[in-house]
Amino acid sequence: MKRFTRFFCRSYAIALLSLFILFAAQVNAGEFVIFHTSDVHGAIAARPDPNGKDGEKRQIGGYAVLKNLINSYRSSAEHAHKRIMYLDSGDFFQGTPIVDRTKGAVMIDFLNHMNVEAVTMGNHEFDYTYQNLVEQFKKKKFPVICCNVFEKATGMLPEFAEEYRIFTHKGRKIGIIGIDTPETAKMSFEKNVKDLIFCQPEPIVRPLVKLLRKSGVDFIILMSHLGYEADLQIASQIEGIDLILGGHTHRLTKEFTWAPPFNIPIAHPGSSSENTSIIHIDLTDAAAPILRLESVPLYVDAIGEHPETKQLEDSYLLELKAEMARVVGESKVHLSRGISGGDSPEGSLIADAMRKSSGADFAFINFGGVRQPFSKGPITVEDVFLVQPFDNVIELVDMNGFMIRNLIEKAYSNESRPMDAADRQDAKEQHRNNGDGTKLMVGSPHGILLPSGLHITYDPTLPPMKRLLKLTTTDGKELEAERIYSVAFNDFVAEGGDGFTYLREIPNHKKLPILVRDALIKHIEELKVIEKRPEKRVFNVKLREELFD
């Protein structure tokens, strides 16, 4: 009897344990944890936080920190039954000296090392020509998911790309569709993308969503490099998407944006590997997914660095460090590119450097060409490179006063909208600006141009091409309609980039052997100390701007 009792108790305990294990497995059935980055732009290593409070200068970013964070999840008992994934929404090329010197090869090496599950392409992947991208992707160990970029010669996707991919875990299926911005055709030099067609994504994505549903996919992610505003638009047009993981506009969202009318959540992770979005997706009940978003700043002192990843980083960067660490000047103010459609202290500094270096009457830098901010304190060569990573040279174009006015009307005719709470928070954290009011949307049909030598007053709520209220030189003079002025651009804009295709048809272009980056370094060296922000040049009458340090 005792033997039977012991046998019964042992059997009961084993059965109870089995039920517990089965229950635990069911609780964790179909759970995914997705780490998401976008717009890394070659930021493989940690650096002082450009948006941190003055004096803190905590080290932030880099793949060694991200790898450590991902590994901590993989080794955690809490996440043991979940599928951990790392995804990237493009623009991993362009932005740092090491990417430029290796023409992107360093990023393929790191993405392989990070075991990235999938990437989509951004516009900057084409900066070193499409042929270079084909060669670099021959070394990849990950899928490139992009459904709306086609080769002209074949009418097919590039050989390295696929429209979508399905990922499974414990019987649950996630389908991922990738898209690049069709504006890449205008945002890259024509020679870099002449062999490709960048299609509008909506007509391609819609049937793919239906196809994935018919294939039994439980959850559909759109991995997008359209930009925040365009993500809102595509979310309003296509039903059936469960999540958009976006990039391109360098926006950082710390909570989901739930886009009407289908209530699609959108998350953007910021840029330069300073933050990662962590999306928890529970598909235990596939009919009612549970989502949660964390935005985690990648601070070295909080997370640590993965030793092997750090070794890989050092193998690329040690030779560059001394060159990049050279101090060229100092700033006593925080400088950033500002709210789209408003004034840009950092853009003004760059445009001033272009005008001074070229001897032009006026100069313009495109809003998208102004990258990382300058923090208070010493400015190094690397800081300037992060602000101006492109190998653009200065190009002079002869234009009369009427043509300049028409140019500025185009540059300020993009769609406008009132700033929302996320915009105001972004302005405060990224640009030190307590701004509110009406902003311009970044994108088609033209890039926004930031001036040197001119003051622009406009109303973004007026009809396109009828928004300019006042246009004067810095000393208050009106432009003479028929007078010929020398105008400096970077060669990207002068040759038709950012939608200004007609500029390349204007006669009397002169390309100078001066990199915009070098002009900026020389300008800062001559200033020695930037005591205050440049005077305000862009006056948006429907936007309140209040800068602080």
**Cα–Cα dist 220/217, whole Å:** 7
**Rounded to whole angstroms, how far apart are CA atoms 353 and 360?**
11
Write out pLDDT tens, residues 227-258.
999 999 999 999 999 999 999 999 999 999 99
| CATH 2.40.37.10 for the 29-314 domain, yes or no | no
Q: Identify whether 297 is preceded by a cis peptide bond (ω within 30 of 0).
A: no
Question: For residue 56, is pLDDT > 80?
Answer: no
What are the sequence ranges of the domains in the chain?
29-314, 326-544
Share of the chain above pLDDT 70, in %: 94
> Among 16-20, 166-170, 372-376, which is the least confidently predicted range?
16-20
- What is the per-residue pLDDT across 505-516, written as a single tens digit (0 to 9) for each? 999 999 999 999
pLDDT of residue 247: 97
pLDDT > 60? residue 12: no
Q: What is the DSSP string of 283-314?
A: -SSTTS-EEEEEEEE-BHHHH---HHHHHHHH
Output the average pLDDT for the chain: 92
Q: b vs e for 421-433, b when ≥16 Cβ sit within 10 Å of the residue's Cβ? A: ebbbebbeebbbb
Q: How many CB atoms lie within 10 A of CB 197?
A: 13
Residue 443 pLDDT class (50, 70, 90 cuts) = confident
**pLDDT tens for each residue of 136-145:** 999 999 999 9
Q: What is the pLDDT of residue 430?
A: 84
- Compute the average pLDDT of residues 46-64: 83
User: Which residues are CB-contacts of 87 (< 8 A; sequence separation ≥ 6)?
Assistant: 34, 35, 36, 37, 116, 117, 118, 119, 176, 221, 223, 245
Pairing of strands 454-458, 538-540: parallel
Say if residue 162's pLDDT is above 80: yes
Q: Kindly state the DSSP code that residue 105 receives in the 8-state scheme.
A: H
Residue 64 to residue 17: CA distance in whole angstroms: 40
* Fold (topology level) of 326-544: 5'-nucleotidase;  domain 2 (3.90.780)
Asked whether the beta carbons of 272 and 282 are under 8 A apart, the reply is no
Could you read off the pLDDT of 381-402 as tens digits, one per residue?
999 998 998 889 999 999 999 9
Q: Give the model confidence (pLDDT) of 60-90 as tens digits.
A: 999 999 999 999 999 999 999 999 999 999 9
